[in-house]
């Protein structure tokens, strides 16, 4: 083998597909998501469930593709959508998240049923799925962000060594030696390269220390942009119920008013409000 036979390792994996040639996972995701959303709605899944179902389906597909990179090689677009539907598990999802709620319990536990957030959704037997879906999205985000960061600092060995140090279990001495900053230069490298790079990664991944203020307090203080961006995101996805829920909560409306507007049972409205609270806490970087 000569040096001309050695090819660089691909920075982003590409997978053979039967309908669009070799594609990155991001391209497969972008191509199939609109049709998958329509199919999930066609089969009777609630709009509020679609983001978690889609994330779950694509995560399982990504894991299978990682094990068998030719999984989609002989599959057309319809076949790929069928594979995703089989991995979405909507029946299991509905079984986890749909519970009977009794008004006596609501009144007893909360004192005000209209403002009550269902206790069952705050415990592991149902909330775990949402946490799993968030972990899936974070894992995909991490892969994308690390690739982008490595490309950005491709010509800087100290930064690449810092990225290696932050994302692996390598010790600081060994990583600094790789960066060419051993001995007395290690402290400079840790403070001038590693620390800013860690902050940059946290910002790209939206990993921030939670603030003590609630999202309501920050919104009323004039910070409207995070809520508006969240409304725009759900509007682009066609999730009109979540759009209405977010606007209702921003206007400080009661659960009863939202029930009348959406013509939905109280249990479903409470679930929508719970999801909205979770997403608002995330975009406002507040403790849950």
Q: Looking at the structure, do residues 220 and 283 belong to the same domain, yes or no?
A: yes
Which two tokens mark 203?
A: 């910002």
Mean pLDDT (the chain, rounded): 78
Q: Looking at the structure, do residues 223 and 173 belong to the same domain, yes or no?
A: no
Residues 138, 206: Cα–Cα separation, whole Å: 10
Residues 253, 221: Cα–Cα separation, whole Å: 18
* Average pLDDT over every residue of 245-267: 88
Q: Is 118 among the domain residues?
A: no
Q: Looking at the structure, do residues 183 and 221 belong to the same domain, yes or no?
A: no
* Average pLDDT over every residue of 195-214: 73
- Reply yes or no on whether the pLDDT at 66 is more than 60: yes
Q: Is 242 among the domain residues?
A: yes
Q: Looking at the structure, do residues 89 and 22 belong to the same domain, yes or no?
A: yes
Place of tokens 């039967």: 18
pLDDT-derived band of residue 183, with 50, 70 and 90 as boundaries?
A: confident
| Last residue within a domain, chosen from 205, 221, 241 | 205
pLDDT-derived band of residue 133, with 50, 70 and 90 as boundaries?
A: low
Residue 115: predicted pLDDT: 43
For the chain, where are the alpha helices, taking DSSP H only?
A: 25-42, 50-67, 77-88, 90-97, 103-110, 124-152, 157-167, 172-178, 186-189, 195-205, 215-220, 225-236, 240-250, 255-262, 266-283
- Reply yes or no on whether the pLDDT at 128 is more than 70: no
Total domain count, the chain: 3
| Last residue within a domain, chosen from 205, 225, 244 | 205
Residue 164 belongs to what domain range? Answer: 153-205
Q: Quick check: helix, strand or coil at residue 208?
A: coil
Find out whether 287 and 212 touch, Cβ atoms under 8 Å: yes
Q: Is 89 among the domain residues?
A: yes
Q: Looking at the structure, do residues 214 and 198 belong to the same domain, yes or no?
A: no
- Reply yes or no on whether the pLDDT at 246 is more than 90: yes
Q: Looking at the structure, do residues 201 and 248 belong to the same domain, yes or no?
A: no
Residues 229, 245: Cα–Cα separation, whole Å: 14
Residue 141: predicted pLDDT: 73
Residue 254: predicted pLDDT: 87
Q: Is 272 among the domain residues?
A: yes
Question: What tens digit of pLDDT does each residue of 14-65 get?
Answer: 889 999 899 988 899 999 998 898 888 877 777 777 888 888 889 889 888 8
Q: Looking at the structure, do residues 186 and 218 belong to the same domain, yes or no?
A: no
* Among 129, 139, 144, CA closest to 278: 129
């Amino acid at each position: 083998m000569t040096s001309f036979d050695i090819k660089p390792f691909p920075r982003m994996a590409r997978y053979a597909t039967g309908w669009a040639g070799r594609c990155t996972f991001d391209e497969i995701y972008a191509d199939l998501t609109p049709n998958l959303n329509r199919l999930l709605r066609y089969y009777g899944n609630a709009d509020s469930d679609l983001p978690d179902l889609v994330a779950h389906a694509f995560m399982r597909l990504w894991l299978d593709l990682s094990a068998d990179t030719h999984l989609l090689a002989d599959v057309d677009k319809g076949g790929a959508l069928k594979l995703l539907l089989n991995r979405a598990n909507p029946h299991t999802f509905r079984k986890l998240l749909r519970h009977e709620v009794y008004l006596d319990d609501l009144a007893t536990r909360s004192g005000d049923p209209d403002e009550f957030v269902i206790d069952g959704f705050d415990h592991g037997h149902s909330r775990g799925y949402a946490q799993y879906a968030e972990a899936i999205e974070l894992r995909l985000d991490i892969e994308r962000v690390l690739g982008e960061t490595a490309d950005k600092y491709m010509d800087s060995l100290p930064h690449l060594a810092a990225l290696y140090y932050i994302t692996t279990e390598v010790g600081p001495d060994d990583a600094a030696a790789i960066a060419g900053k051993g001995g007395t230069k290690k402290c400079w490298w840790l403070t001038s390269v590693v620390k800013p790079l860690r902050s940059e990664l946290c910002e790209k991944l939206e990993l921030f220390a939670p603030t003590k203020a609630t999202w309501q307090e920050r919104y009323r203080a004039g910070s409207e942009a995070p809520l508006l961006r969240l409304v725009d995101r759900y509007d682009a996805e066609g999730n009109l119920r979540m759009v209405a829920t977010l606007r209702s909560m921003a206007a400080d409306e009661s659960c009863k008013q939202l029930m009348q507007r959406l013509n939905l049972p109280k249990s479903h409205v409470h679930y929508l409000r719970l999801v909205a609270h979770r997403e608002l806490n995330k975009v406002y970087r507040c403790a849950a």
